[in-house]
Amino acid sequence: MAGSVHIGFAKLATPTKGTIFVLTDKTLALSETASKVAADFPATLKKAAGTAKFEGGVLKLLDLLAPAGSSADRIVVVGLGEPDKMQLHDWLRLGGKIGGALASAEQVTIVLDRADAIPVEADQAAALAQGLALRCYRFDKYKTKPPENGTPAKSVKVTISTAGNVAAARAWKTESAVADGAAFARDLVNEPANALGPVEFADRLLALKDLGVVVEVLDEKALTRSKMGALLGVSQGSVRPPRVVVMTWKGGKAKDKPVAFVGKGVVFDTGGISIKPAAGMEDMKGDMGGAAAVAGLMHAVAARKAKANIVGIVGLVENMPDGHAQRPGDIVTSMSGQTIEVLNTDAEGRLVLADILTYIQKKAKPTHIVDLATLTGAIIVALGHHHAGMFCNKDDMATDLAAAGTHTGEKLWRMPLDPEYDKLIESKNADMKNIGGRWGGAITAAQFIQRFVENETPWAHLDVAGTAMGSPASDTNQSWASGFGVRLLDQYIRARFE
């Protein structure tokens, strides 16, 4: 993450230098503090707004360069529309809008003072700061020339001036930890596959120890001893050995069982012998988006010292088509003892999830399980790129996850689970097959995974194929990798388990 932005909070005051952001509403009113940023600024604003047809609408900006009567380089007026109607996610998006308008600024002050004299709340200020930080993320470690797209290329100091600066700074300490977790996930997804194989991915996760996370890495010998035949079958065509990483955060009561988060980590997916078409295959470096989200979540909960017991597990493999690769028609035995007929080697993510689900249930006996996977193209056909598919065996858990998605803007749409779909993955030669035919592909994949959830443990499967990578640019993300799931699941933990 280059072009880092350093965000701090200060008491409400009128700045005089650098780039200054001030708030207005649909009436174009200004607070007393904002009106003093330049001589006769209210009149200047109304004249400029008329010329630019700026009406103070929510998330709209009016940029004034070298404004008369001020020593500031720029004054940017930020529209709130009707401030009382803004939800917390709107403040996050507003921060993203501001982040997109920083350009070459080096010193920035955001005056968070509403014209109606109603104080901006601490969580709103922190959400704005998080949106700004998320927007300013950039993955350019392999570029040898500076960018030309207006994104800050060097360190920018941003001061948020607000009446509740102490409370806002406290809230930002938590939200910045989550933003860092999302950036960590984005970095992992954006890395090229030649730089990030299973071993390198596992090595990256060892850094979580510095935050107090207990990290255990299982190598190929350990996976063989654990009889993870489904996962090992996926990896056997690659010269790069598989890894499984278990990450444990103990922030709750010692006797409490943890909540488990499970991530598919196929660092590159050619499809194996059932090889994918060449066009677009380069995107398959992101087929570990679920594992990246789990890693980012563990970073977030540890950095903010979450008061809950959390365990994350990721299965890291590469799916390649060499002479040792798994063949269509092979039958493998999963760690659970259930046998699987592999009819399509490109339906590999569910095989990885099957074994790590069994492992974490035996090891940690979690109270709830959420798995994340860039699992199917079918979910993109169904939902596009703006919702992730959610499959869940408990209504109350589905409600909690959907609420967390609405709160953060990482939206979920519940999809069906039903025994009728289960029939589609019955095999004549094994306990099940790994594909269910053309129709309902995301659903049959979820039905497959559900067979490895034991004792009716509350479980949700999030198919993030359309949201973890290559999703449309947004106010808070201009990167190919979105980090989808980190903020969503952190909010789920806060609301449900802390």
Contact 364, 311 (CB under 8 A): yes
Sign of the Cα pseudo-torsion (340, 258, 216, 177, in order): positive
Largest interatomic CA distance in the chain: 82
Contact 449, 461 (CB under 8 A): yes
Cα 343 from Cα 444, distance rounded (Å): 14
pLDDT given at position 4: 76
Per-residue tens of pLDDT for the chain, all 498 residues:
445 789 999 999 999 899 999 999 999 999 999 999 999 999 999 999 999 999 999 999 999 998 888 889 999 999 999 999 999 999 999 999 999 999 778 899 999 999 999 999 999 999 999 999 999 999 999 988 866 655 555 678 999 999 999 999 999 999 999 999 999 999 999 999 999 999 999 999 999 999 999 999 999 999 999 999 999 999 999 999 999 999 999 999 999 999 999 999 999 999 999 999 999 999 999 999 999 999 999 999 999 999 999 999 999 999 999 999 999 999 999 999 999 999 999 999 999 999 999 999 999 999 999 999 999 999 999 999 999 999 999 999 999 999 999 999 999 999 999 999 999 999 999 999 999 999 999 999 999 999 999 999 999 999 999 999 998 899 999 999 999 999 999 999 999 999
Within 10 A of 160 (CB to CB), how many other CB atoms are there? 27
Cα 227 from Cα 362, distance rounded (Å): 13
CA atoms within 13 A on the CB side of 491: 23
In sequence order, what are the beta bridge partners of 9?
A: 160
Query: What residues act catalytically?
Result: 276, 350
Residues 6+ apart with CB under 8 A from 409: 89, 92, 93, 476, 487
Cα 443 from Cα 416, distance rounded (Å): 7
pLDDT given at position 151: 53
Residues 6+ apart with CB under 8 A from 121: 164
pLDDT given at position 320: 98
pLDDT given at position 2: 42
Angle at 102 between CA 109 and CA 148, to 5 degrees: 155
Contact 315, 244 (CB under 8 A): yes
Question: How is residue 411 written in tokens?
Answer: 């939206």
pLDDT given at position 1: 43
Contact 287, 374 (CB under 8 A): yes
Angle at 325 between CA 321 and CA 328, to 5 degrees: 95
Q: Which residue has the tokens 């004034």?
A: 64
pLDDT given at position 66: 87
Contact 69, 48 (CB under 8 A): no
Q: What DSSP string runs through 104-138? A: T-SEEEEEE--TT-PPPPHHHHHHHHHHHHHHT--
Contact 181, 296 (CB under 8 A): yes
Cα 38 from Cα 113, distance rounded (Å): 16
pLDDT given at position 103: 79
pLDDT given at position 149: 54
Query: Taking the model in full, what pTM does it have?
Result: 0.95
Contact 435, 343 (CB under 8 A): yes
Task: Give backbone dihedrals phi and psi of 202, rounded to 5 degrees, phi first.
Answer: -60, -40
Q: How far is CA 346 from CA 92, 319, 343, 403, in A?
A: 37, 8, 9, 33
